[in-house]
């Protein structure tokens, strides 16, 4: 296995969820050299997903005209409850995983040291180190994409809680009579404001006869709907799509207000694919609602900002984990 640092040392950071696997190749000083994406296909089972992760890693190394012996370590941001010390994914409902030995299986496939962490934790590490330079003492991260993940840095350290599942803010109840979430509970933040939730709401309304520019763009079944399509429809004046996205931003604002009341962080960092595609629509509404709903005085001076790293936060954070794994 590769050991101490030399000029040829690279690390790979991987962020994966129910939809896609995203791998980035980084130099030892965390410069992104190249990236590769692949669909996850979780229905094929955990062994197949791990094979695909390994293939995505070898693809990005090959695309950069390098060989695997130049890679020092790999970091992985995985969805759900993750035990980084045991190297296991305890539970990932969106993947249908329970107690999967991800670290051991990937080390076997790659013959490299592997570090794993919850995907939102990895994304916040990426934002914290790369974007904020490790400066703020208390940071709350909220990552909105296929699902909604959260993470906490308290006193400059990642806070993972008693059994490694702190930060599961996607499963805070926002509406007790709300729609059913992937976790089986009703009215979760994720079931109301994730990209999946917005898409389901739009598709159900279209099936009930709602008119939208999206059907002209993509057909009646709205196949291959993406966050970018929502953006295009809003730019063309689609008020229905704008309302769906603004509703999601309102729920996010309610969640932020509650979390600010509880945690009083210095910075609230918003990220993920949904925020990256729709920041200019979502952030003003989200910030306004959070400010209005937080206890007077608690939100004063707190920065609520969207991450400039966007969807790359996860791979940057995973690369930091990989680098730490070999130190």
Q: Return the pLDDT at 1.
A: 40
| Tens digit of each residue's pLDDT (9 = 90 or more) over 198-212 | 999 999 999 999 999
Q: Return the pLDDT at 280.
A: 95
What's the rounded Cα separation, in Å, for the pair 292 and 269?
18
Superfamily classification of domain 136-309: ATPase, nucleotide binding domain (3.30.420.40)
Q: Return the pLDDT at 2.
A: 40
Q: Return the pLDDT at 7.
A: 53
Sheet holding 157-158, edge to edge: 157-158, 148-154, 139-144, 267-271, 303-306
Domain 10-125+312-325 sits in CATH at 3.30.420.40
> Comparing 10-125+312-325 with 136-309, is the CATH topology the same?
yes
Q: Return the pLDDT at 239.
A: 97
Instruction: Give the pair of three-digit tokens for residue 2.
Output: 């590769």
End-to-end CA distance of the chain: 14
HSE of 284, CA atoms in CB hemisphere, 13 A: 2
What's the rounded Cα separation, in Å, for the pair 268 and 124?
10
What's the rounded Cα separation, in Å, for the pair 84 and 56?
21
- Over the range 239-252, which residues count as b (16 or more CB within 10 Å of their CB) and which as e? ebbbebbbbbbbbb
Average pLDDT for consecutive 10-residue bins of the chain (327 residues)?
A: 55 94 96 96 96 98 96 95 94 90 98 96 96 95 92 96 89 96 93 97 96 95 93 97 98 98 97 94 97 94 94 95 90
Give CA torsion, residues 234, 239, 243, 246, to 10 deg: 40
Residue position matching structure tokens 């990426």: 126
Q: Return the pLDDT at 140.
A: 98
Q: Domain locations in the chain?
A: 10-125+312-325, 136-309
Q: Return the pLDDT at 235.
A: 97
- Over the range 260-279, which residues count as b (16 or more CB within 10 Å of their CB) and which as e? beebebebbbbbbbbbbbbb
| Sequence-separated (6 or more) residues with CB below 8 Å from residue 139 | 124, 127, 128, 132, 152, 153, 265, 266, 267, 268, 269
């Amino acid at each position: 296995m590769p050991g101490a640092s030399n000029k040829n040392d690279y690390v790979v950071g991987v962020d994966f969820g129910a939809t896609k696997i995203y791998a980035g190749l980084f130099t030892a000083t965390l410069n992104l050299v190249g990236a590769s994406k692949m669909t996850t296909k979780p229905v094929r089972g955990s062994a197949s997903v791990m094979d695909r992760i390994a293939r995505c890693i070898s693809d990005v190394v090959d695309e950069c005209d390098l060989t695997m012996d130049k890679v020092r370590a790999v970091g992985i941001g995985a969805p759900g409850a993750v035990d980084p010390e045991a190297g296991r994914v305890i539970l990932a409902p969106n993947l249908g995983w329970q107690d999967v030995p991800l670290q051991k299986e990937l080390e076997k496939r790659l013959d490299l040291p592997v570090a794993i962490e919850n995907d939102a934790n990895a994304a916040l590490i990426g934002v914290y180190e790369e974007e904020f330079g490790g400066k703020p003492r208390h940071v709350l991260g909220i990552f909105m994409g296929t699902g909604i993940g959260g993470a906490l840095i308290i006193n400059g350290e990642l806070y993972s809680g008693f059994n490694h599942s702190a930060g599961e803010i996607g499963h805070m109840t926002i509406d007790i009579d709300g729609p059913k979430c992937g976790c089986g509970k009703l009215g979760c933040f994720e079931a109301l404001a994730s990209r999946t939730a917005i898409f389901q709401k739009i598709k159900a309304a279209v099936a009930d006869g709602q008119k939208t520019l999206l059907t002209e763009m993509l057909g009646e079944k709205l196949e291959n709907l993406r966050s970018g399509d929502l953006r295009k429809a809003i730019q063309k004046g689609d008020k229905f799509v704008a309302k769906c996205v603004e509703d999601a931003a309102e729920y996010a604002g309610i969640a932020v207000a509650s979390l600010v009341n509880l945690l009083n962080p210095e910075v609230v960092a918003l990220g993920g694919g949904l925020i990256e595609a729709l920041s200019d629509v979502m952030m003003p509404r989200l910030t306004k609602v959070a400010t209005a709903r937080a206890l007077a005085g608690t939100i004063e001076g707190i920065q609520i900002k969207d991450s400039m790293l966007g969807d790359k936060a996860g791979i940057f954070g995973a690369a930091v984990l990989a680098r730490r794994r070999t130190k």
